[in-house]
Amino acid sequence: MDASEDRNYEDFVRLFTHHEPKLRAFVRSLLPTWEDVDEVMQETSLVLWRKWSEFDPSTDFMKWGCVVARFEVLKHRRRKARDRHVFDPDLIEILAAEGADEVEALDARRKALDSCLQQLPENQRRLVMAAYAPGRTIKEIAAQAGKSATALYKTLNRVRTALLECVERSTRKEGLA
């Protein structure tokens, strides 16, 4: 590969890996099983790569990816037409439209949560991050903070409520609630 091909490849991988979780959520909204989602995501990623040279960088990668994924879902559905658990094509179109809206709303809520987390006092932000860190238990965190587990749960509940209210205010302000 020459330098321009390396850069082209890197641009694709950067965009795809950034949008893959949202694209996977979109595909999941259209298919009944995780196995189907995995199969369609694999095909979708291959089609996106093959058509990468046709992608206009001034457009939205996620929307492009959703269009490709929707077609891959329809192809997958045709392949599994004998299976009685396959959605009707009209239903897939409705779910695809709603799924695209949901992906955008979820992304907006995730950004609002990030912003709201940054607005928390440092000690509350550290507490929330510790509570959701993998491999940590509430008992361990409480002991480290010099509190009982019950007291920590009450504190976390107040912080979560404040975060939820902040996210809802933020998304309402953006017209996404």
| Furthest C-alpha separation in the chain | 60
The yes-or-no verdict on residue 134 having pLDDT over 90 is no
Q: Degrees (nearest 5) of the Cα angle 53, 57, 58? A: 145
pLDDT score at 61: 93
% the chain with pLDDT above 70: 89
- Tracing tokens 């809802």 back to the chain, one arrives at 168
- One-letter amino acid of 26: F
Rounded distance, CA 169 to CA 177, Å?
8
pLDDT digits (tens, 9 = 90+) for 115-130: 998 999 998 888 888 8
Cβ atoms of residues 75 and 86 within 8 Å = no
| pLDDT at 43 (0 to 100) | 96
First to last CA, the chain: 47
Spatial distance between the Cα atoms of 86 and 171, rounded to a whole number of angstroms: 34
Q: What angle, rounded to 10 degrees, do the helices at 149-173 and 122-131 form?
A: 110
Residue 177 one-letter amino acid: A
Q: What is the pLDDT of residues 76-112, one digit of tens each?
A: 988 877 655 556 677 777 777 777 767 777 778 888 8
Residue 78's nearest CA partner among 29, 24, 40, 22 is 40
Mean pLDDT lowest among 18-32, 44-58, 131-145: 131-145
- Which three-class secondary structure state does DSSP give residue 121? coil
**13 pLDDT more than 90:** yes
Q: What confidence score (pLDDT) does residue 152 get? A: 87
What pLDDT is stored for residue 31 in this prediction? 87
Mean pLDDT within 40-56: 94
* pTM for the full predicted model: 0.50
Mean pLDDT of the chain: 85
